[in-house]
Amino acid sequence: MQPWLDRTRPPSYPCRWILTLGCLFVIELTGGAPAASQASAKPTVAEIVDSIAAAAVGSGQIAGLSVAIARGTEAMVFRGYGWSDVEHRIPTPPDAVYEIGSITKQFTAAAILLLQEQGRLSIDDLVTDHLPQFPTRGRAVSLRHLLSHTSGIPDFTALPDFSALATRGAPLDSIVALVEDQPLLFVPGQAMAYSNSGYILLGRIIESASGVRYADFIEAQLFVPAGMLDSSYCDAAGLPASRTVGHRLLNRILLPTESLDHTWPYAAGSLCSTAADLIAWNRALHGGRLLSPESYEILTDPGELEDGTRLRYAAGLIVDSIGNRPVYRHGGSIPGFRAELLYFPEDGLSIAILLNTDGSISPLGLGEDLSARIHGATDGGRQVDYPLRRPAVDYVGEYRGVGRDGTRSVYVGATSPDRLVLRREDDQVRPLRPVGPDVFRAGRTWMTFNREADEIVSVRFDEIGENSILTRVR
């Protein structure tokens, strides 16, 4: 095992600074292997990462990033690129600390499952068993519903009054009160819509059941056992000097973002970590050191809606595939930062990618590129179209129903007799490819059309963070 993966002691390797492309700093921890042993006709994992990171930083669209990759206990890459702070010209150090946004949710989910193992709660408890004052409109909303985003509780970040509260540094009680005033989007268990509100409530339940603050429970029960020495709740007063500065791109200029008040993201998105610590987390979580087998199965099994529809979101983890390989993953996006953490169960490969810039460069996209290069291209990664058996015009129309923002409207159009496109409310247009009888795919969005008397009347709309029936309205 490489010493930097032993989180019980600091790394003893020397740091190296390498300047490439005139603007890309790479800071790494290296074992100092002889140059001759590194020579190979096939690029090493480190060379692959350098190439992909150089393109990202060289584009001028991000300030910096950190990448850590390991397979099991084998450390493959642990590097920082670009600038931690553009304004003060501070390069990204190996132990750079980032806000990880919604990657926080898997920690919250694991904490709930630990409390279930300790007998302090059950995920089949009702929310009102622990938070009796929270209104559920006469519906039975369970902790299991909160974990899988099937509760119907609206996402506070999608509510019109949220922006004004967030800019004022709203206390958590104000956020909860904002949600309390809203009706449920749907009957719990009958649809799925990603909701930060549900994870805010889970944080409150962790505190109620454990008797300690959310941040303290996460540190004692998860960070310390996993060996995550550089991770913490994103409290500005307690963060180390290696914390990166968030950035945004304005008129092709990278500018620092304002520091976020982490009162309100809370258990939905307020943890800070390093790329190396997230690899340590993957090793502990997926290596069976933190949860019982029964709890781990809950964490990684997406489950079903009441009508038997399989979901692709489990408990704080997305169950997905990349290049035809199964992967557990989750991303994070918070002002100034984007992140992605991936774990491939077939070979134990872990990839952590942390960016300190909002923008068009996707950490998931970088992770997909890295996976393809490391695993090697396979035919399974290529998309093969299923022949369109029915006329394209059969599917053309507008479909409307429930969504994360309250309502969801999508439009299906035909560009030729056998070609369809999907258009969202944001006017983004994507090819809609047939993959089975009345089943289509646009990227990670799946659409299964339903017929009555051979007429399309509705569609099952599944884009991982939403899963519901949309009715054809025209």
> What's the CATH number where 234 sits?
3.40.710.10
For the cut 80, the answer to whether the pLDDT of residue 145 exceeds it is yes
Indicate the DSSP class of residue 310: B
Q: How far apart are CA 223 and CA 186, in angstroms?
A: 36
Please report whether residue 178 resides in a domain: no
CA distance 57 to 14: 24
Picking from 325, 360, 380, the residue at the C-terminal end of a domain is 380
Handedness of CA 447, 309, 138, 177 (dihedral sign): negative
- Joined tokens for residue 23: 């603007």
Same domain, 363 and 282: yes
Residues 238-261 have a mean pLDDT of 88
Round to whole Å and give the CA distance between 112 and 207. Answer: 10
pLDDT of the residue at 375: 94
Split at pLDDT 50, 70, 90, the class of 37 is very low
Note whether residue 119 is domain-resident. no
Residue with tokens 């084998």: 74
Which backbone phi and psi does 134 adopt, to 5 degrees?
A: -80, 125
Same domain, 35 and 61: yes
In this structure, the chain runs to a length of 474
Categorize the per-residue pLDDT at 7 as very low, low, confident or very high, splitting at 50, 70 and 90: very low
The verdict on 343 and 433 lying in the same domain is: no
**Which region among 224-238, 260-274, 315-329, 337-351 has the lowest average model confidence (pLDDT)?**
224-238
The predicted-structure confidence for 19-32, as pLDDT tens digits, reads as follows 223 344 555 543 33
Question: Are 102 and 269 a contacting pair, CB within 8 Å?
Answer: yes
Please count the structural domains in the chain.
2
pLDDT number for residue 18: 28
Host H or E run for residue 51: helix 45-58
**What is the Cα gyration radius of the chain?**
23
pLDDT, residue 310, reads 97
Arithmetic mean of pLDDT, 298-307: 96
Domain assignment present for residue 272? The answer is yes
Highest mean pLDDT among 142-156, 173-187, 380-394: 142-156
Whether 107 contacts 228, CB under 8 Å: no
Same domain, 229 and 325: yes
Residue 273, in any domain of the structure: yes
Q: How confident is the model at residue 236 (pLDDT cuts 50, 70, 90)?
A: low
The contacts of residue 453 (CB under 8 Å, 6+ apart) are none
Instruction: Tell me, yes or no, whether 33 lies in a domain.
Output: yes
Please report whether residue 360 resides in a domain: yes
> Would you say residue 382 has pLDDT above 80?
no
Same domain, yes or no: 246 and 334: yes
Q: Are residues 348 and 257 in the same domain?
A: yes
Asked which of 10-14, 325-329, 374-378, 431-435 is least confident by mean pLDDT, the reply is 10-14
Q: What percentage of the chain reaches a pLDDT higher than 90? A: 77
- Sign of the Cα torsion 350, 97, 54, 252 reads positive
pLDDT tens across 209-222, in order?
999 999 999 999 99
Does any domain span residue 328?
yes
147 neighbors 300 (Cβ within 8 angstroms): no
User: Please, what is the average pLDDT of the chain?
Assistant: 89
Q: Which domain holds residue 411?
A: 392-472
Same domain for 321 and 421, yes or no, is no
Q: Is residue 256 located within the same domain as residue 364?
A: yes
Q: In this structure, is residue 201 part of a structural domain?
A: no
Q: What is the dihedral of CA 234, 235, 239, 243, to 10 degrees?
A: 40
Per the CB < 8 A criterion, the answer to whether 118 and 112 are in contact is no
Q: Hey, what long-range contacts does 438-447 have (CB within 8 A, 24 or more apart)?
A: 438/390, 439/386, 440/395, 441/383, 444/320, 447/412, 447/422
* Same domain? 300 vs 423: no
Domain boundary at 321, 352, 380, which? 380
In this structure, the answer to whether residues 54 and 8 fall within a common structural domain is: yes
Q: Are 250 and 295 within one domain? A: yes
Read off the pLDDT of each residue in 289-308 and give the average, rounded to a whole number: 97
**Does position 34 have pLDDT exceeding 90, yes or no?**
no
Cα 125 from Cα 268, distance rounded (Å): 20
| Residue 195 DSSP label | -
In this structure, the answer to whether residues 357 and 438 fall within a common structural domain is: no
- In this structure, are residues 299 and 291 in contact, taking their beta carbons and an 8 Å threshold? yes
Residue-wise pLDDT for 63-116, tens only, equals 999 999 999 989 999 999 999 999 999 999 989 999 999 999 999 999 999 999
Q: Give the H/E segment covering residue 65.
A: strand 64-71
Structure tokens at 463: 């884009």
Return d(Cα 47, Cα 50) in angstroms, integer: 5
8-state DSSP, 161: T
The residue among 334, 360, 380 that closes a domain is 380
Q: How confident is the model at residue 11 (pLDDT cuts 50, 70, 90)?
A: very low
